[in-house]
Every structure is written in C-alpha cells, then in structure tokens.
Amino acid sequence: MLNDIFIAPFTEFEFMRRALAGALALALGAGPIGVFLMLRRMSLVGDAMAHAILPGAAVGFLLSGLNLFAMTAGGLIAGFVVAVLTGLVARTTELKEDAALATFYLLSLAVGVTIISLKGTNIDLLHVLFGNVLALDDQTLLLIAANATITLIVLALIYRPLVIECVDPGFMRTVSSAGGPAHLAFLVLVVVNLVSGFHALGTLLAVGIMMLPAAIGRFWARDTTLMILIATASGAVASYVGLLVSFHFGVASGPAIILIAGVLYLSSLLFGRVGGLVRQAFPGRHLEA
C-alpha cells in the first residue's frame, strides 16, 4: 500500500525516475542560489531574469525546434545580455538597478512571446513557459546534473568572499578586490540555474524552486549554512512529493512541485522557529534578565 503510493511510481515508470533525478539535481543547485538571492534582497531579480531568458530560448526554438542546446545557448545569451545591459544602464544613468532590470526583462519577455507566436503553437509556448519535467531526455538530464555540479563547486570557491560581500561590503572592499568578481560569478550562476530550471519547470516556475525553499530556510535557521541545508532539503522534498501528487492526481508536475513547496512555505511561515507567526503571537513568558 505505502509502496504503491510512495515508491512504485518511480520503480515502475522510467519517466518518473527521470523526473525525480532532474528535479532533485535542480533543487541541489537552486537551494543555495536562492538563499543568497534572498539574503542579498534580490529575490525578485531571479524572477526578472527568468523572464529575460525567454527570448533567447525562443530564438533557439525558432531556429531548431525543441532542441536542447539551441534553447539553452539562447537562454544563456539572453540572460547575460540583459544582465550586462542592466549593469551598464544602472552605472551610467539615473536609473537604478531595479528599474533598469525591469525595463529590459519586460522588453525581453515581449520579444520572446512574439517570436514564439510567430512560429510555434500554443503548446510550444506552454512548454517554454512551464517546462515539462516528465519528458526529460538524457541530454537534458545531463545538462541539469552538470549544472548542479558546477554550481556547487563554484559556490564553494566563492563562498567566503560572497558571504563577506553580503554582510559587510565596505570591509570587503578594504581587504580584497575579490568581492566584485564573486558577485559577478554569483549572477552567472543565477542565470545558469534558471536556464537549467526552465527545461524542467519552465521559465516561470524555475524561480519557484529557488526562492520558496530559501524563504522556508529563513524561518528555521539563524546561520547561513543551516539555512542553505534546509532550503536544499525542502526543495528536494517538494520535488519528490510534488511528483507523487502529480502522478496520483493527474495534475501538471511543475506547478505541483511548486505548490508543495508553497505548502511547506506556509507551514514555516506559521510555525517556523525563527520569526514564525505562531511564535510571534505566543512567545511564551520572558526569561530572567
């Protein structure tokens, strides 16, 4: 019985195994990235960047159909172009970074949807917007796994300067010039993870597997390491449970994963050890001074 519910879907169906492997790899890379985005108050930057990569993926799609490498390369290029243009405009004009990013990602999104509507059908558009975690082929799976590996290695390399740059940028500037490159490498990781995420979850939901777990972590941990561990773990749990829900109830898998993450998030919001709402409402009697 329990086997039927929790294990059999994955042992019996290969597409479910693939989906699980892909989603877990995705959660592994996206967890820490999401935590740093949140701690840098850049939660919505991920969202904007996810929209920005759409036209690149669309051009890739237009040139070579649902081809993994064309769409990936297109997405990466579009992401980097928007990131660089945003940086340039923010640095040289009166527009601040958020406004500059907003303008470019909206333009990028409009261009992307236009391109898809010129050639593709609505089904293609749905695939790009929402992905299809149940149809991951070998190549895509390899791409996601490679991306997770690279993400973790690069994060390990830049971890210390990145943390110091987040908490005390002024100090970082006086002791080392590693802060800028670390931030840049981090932005590259954001784009790379979003591109890898959109194959499975689509451009819109790829951000969900980044930010929801990060927000969950914030309600349970007071230090960065534990926060990252909790975020990654809850991303993995959401992937597993989400796929099961999708399997048993016949709902779309990408949104199911994000919705499960949403349930975990709402419970953390209510019952979280660090600043959860219930904790705040009933803090208990105060301690001795």
Partner 1 sequence: MSAALQFRNLTLGYDRQPAVHHLDGAVETGALVAVVGPNGAGKSTLFKGIVGVLKPLAGRIERGDLKAQNIAYLPQAAEIDRTFPINVYDMVAMGLWRRTGSFGGIDRAARASIEKAIAAVGLTGFEDRGISTLSGGQMQRMLFARLLLQDARVIVLDEPFNAVDAKTSADLFDLVRRWHGERRTVLTALHDLDFVRANFPETLLLAREPVAWGRTASVLTPENLLTARRMCEAFDHEAALCADEKAPALPQSGEVARAGHSVGEHGVATRD
Instruction: Decide: is 178 part of the binding site for partner 1 (CB under 8 A).
Output: yes
- To the nearest whole angstrom, how small is the minimum distance from the Cβ of residue 224 to partner 1? 5
Q: Is 39 in the site for partner 1 (CB under 8 A)?
A: yes
Residue by residue, DSSP assigns 143-159 as HHHHHHHHHHHHHHHHH
Nearer to partner 1, 81 or 164 (CB): 164
Q: Is 147 in the site for partner 1 (CB under 8 A)?
A: no
233 binds partner 1, rule: CB under 8 A: no
Phi, psi of 251 (to 5 degrees): -100, 165
DSSP state of 177: S
Is residue 170 involved in binding partner 1 (CB under 8 A)?
Answer: yes
Under rule CB under 8 A, residue 229 binds partner 1:
no
275 touches partner 1 by CB under 8 A: no
Residue type, 288: E
Please tell me what DSSP assigns to residue 287.
Answer: P
Residues 43-82 that bind partner 1 (CB under 8 A): none
Q: What are the backbone dihedrals phi and psi of residue 54, each rounded to the nearest 5 degrees, phi first?
A: -60, -50
Indicate whether 283 belongs to the interface with partner 1 (CB under 8 A). no
In the complex, the smallest distance separating the C-beta of residue 47 from partner 1, rounded to whole angstroms, is: 21
Phi, psi of 53 (to 5 degrees): -80, -10
Residue 280 touches partner 1, criterion: CB under 8 A = no
CA–CA dist 32, 38 (Å, integer): 10
The alpha helices in 8-130, defined as continuous H runs, are 8-12, 14-39, 43-52, 54-64, 68-92, 97-119, 122-130
State the nearest-atom distance from the C-beta of 214 to partner 1, in Å: 12
157 touches partner 1 by CB under 8 A = yes
Enter the tokens of residue 259. 């919705």
Q: Using the rule CB under 8 A, is 167 a contact of partner 1?
A: yes
Place of tokens 């490679």: 146
**Locate tokens 């209510």: which residue?**
270
Kindly state the DSSP code that residue 40 receives in the 8-state scheme: T
Find the binder of partner 1 among 223, 249, 282, 288 (CB under 8 A).
Answer: 223
The Cα 7–Cα 9 span in angstroms is 6
Indicate whether 171 belongs to the interface with partner 1 (CB under 8 A): yes
Does position 222 interact with partner 1 (CB under 8 A)? The reply is yes
Q: Which residues of 122-138 are buried (b: 16+ CB within 10 A; e: fewer)?
A: eebbebbbbbbbbebee
158 in helix, strand or coil? helix
Q: Is 174 in the site for partner 1 (CB under 8 A)?
A: yes
Rank residues 88 and 156 by Cβ distance to partner 1 and give the closer one: 156
Name the minimum Å distance from CB 278 to partner 1: 21
Contacting range for partner 1; rule: CB under 8 A; set: 4-12, 60-68, 140-148, 162-170: 162-170
Nearest to 271 by CA among 259, 258, 282: 282
288 binds partner 1 (CB under 8 A): no
Name the minimum Å distance from CB 156 to partner 1: 9
What does residue 202 show for φ and ψ, rounded to 5 degrees?
A: 85, 160
Binding region for partner 1 (CB under 8 A) out of 26-34, 141-149, 157-165, 184-192: 157-165
| Interaction site with partner 1 (CB under 8 A) | 39, 157-158, 160-161, 163-164, 166-171, 173-176, 178, 221-224, 227
